[in-house]
Structure 1
Amino acid sequence: MEGSYMTLVANGARFAIAIPNFALVAPTVAK
């Protein structure tokens, strides 16, 4: 149970980092 919780937290952190990165990259790619 504890292991899956840590996986959930790691995925959440990765997702939280990916969102702003995508927001920054998307306008550049759209050009």
Structure 2
Amino acid sequence: MLTFVITMVVLLVLSGLVLLAVARGEGKHFG
């Protein structure tokens, strides 16, 4: 069960980093 929680946290962090990278990329593209 603990491994499942850790996996979910890792996925959430990775998705957050991807969203930040996309936001930065869009900002550079339009800026």
Aligning the two structures, in what range does the TM-score lie when normalised by the shorter sequence?
0.5 to 0.7
CA RMSD, Structure 1 to Structure 2 (Å): 1.6
Runs of 4+ in 1 over 3 A off after TM superposition: none
What is the one-letter code of the residue matched to 1:12? L
* Structure 1 spans left out of the alignment, 5+ residues: none
* Structure 2 spans left out of the alignment, 5+ residues: none
Residue aligning to 2:2: 2
CA deviation profile, 1:1-31 (whole Å, cap 9, x unmatched): 1000000000000011110101122353x8x
What's the TM-score once normalised by structure 1's chain length?
A: 0.67
Length, aligned pairs only = 29
Q: Once the two structures are aligned, what percentage of the paired residues are identical?
A: 14
